[in-house]
Structure 1
Amino acid sequence: MNLFQFNQPEFGWWVEVNTLVPRCTYYFGPFDSQKEAQLSRSGYVEDLYEEEARDIVAMVKQCQPDVLTIFQDEAELQISSF
């Protein structure tokens, strides 16, 4: 038995969506199962496309994001200002 896994809370299933325009990462979830997240994925992609996001890549993963929307341009600006 791996004690590290035993002490960790179980992560939920999330839909991670990356867009090039705007340069963002979005997390939608959590879902109880991979199948549930997979079924919801296309709806998030369609919504973002209607909001004029482009070059959209969506994947289902098991994780626990700290932030649900990450604006890449702002993150790079904050990092470069140090």
Structure 2
Amino acid sequence: MKLLNIFKQVIAGFVQAMFKQWWVEITTADPQCTYYFGPFNSSLEARKLYSGYVEDLEGEGAQGITVTIKLCKPEILTFCGSGVEF
């Protein structure tokens, strides 16, 4: 039974990975926005490249920047608190 549960988890992880890729999610407090950059082949690739996106946002005056590297499939790449989607 234990082996069957492990097998199910491995298969579920494989299926999930087939439909999701690595993305950089950057949120800003001011303006209140969420940005997705990617997709990347690995979390390491995303980590190596996200600083350029942060620099661009800082150059535009964004404040309160938070970066998360995640395995996902975003449907909207930019969303701001005002309800504006890009």
The residue type paired with residue 51 of structure 1 is E
**Deviating 4+ runs (over 2 angstroms):** 1-10
More strand by share: 1
Larger Rg: 2
The residue type paired with residue 38 of structure 1 is R
Q: 50-59 or 7-16, which moves further after superposition?
A: 7-16
**Count of matched residue positions in the alignment of Structure 1 and Structure 2:** 75
Q: TM-score, normalised by structure 2?
A: 0.77
- Which ranges in structure 1 are unaligned for 5 or more consecutive residues? 76-82
Matched, 1:27 2:12: no
Q: Secondary structure at the match of 1:46?
A: helix
* TM-superposition CA deviations, 1:9-57 (whole Å, max 9, x none): 3311000000011100000000001100001111111110001111100
CA contact (8 A) 2:33 2:78 kept: yes
- Which ranges in structure 2 are unaligned for 5 or more consecutive residues? 1-6
**Equivalences for 1:1-82 in 2 at 5 Å?**
1-2=7-8, 5=13, 7-8=15-16, 9-74=18-83
Query: Superposition RMSD on alpha carbons, in Å?
Result: 1.7
Using the TM superposition, give the Cα deviation of residue 5 of structure 1 relative to its aligned residue in structure 2, in angstroms.
4.9
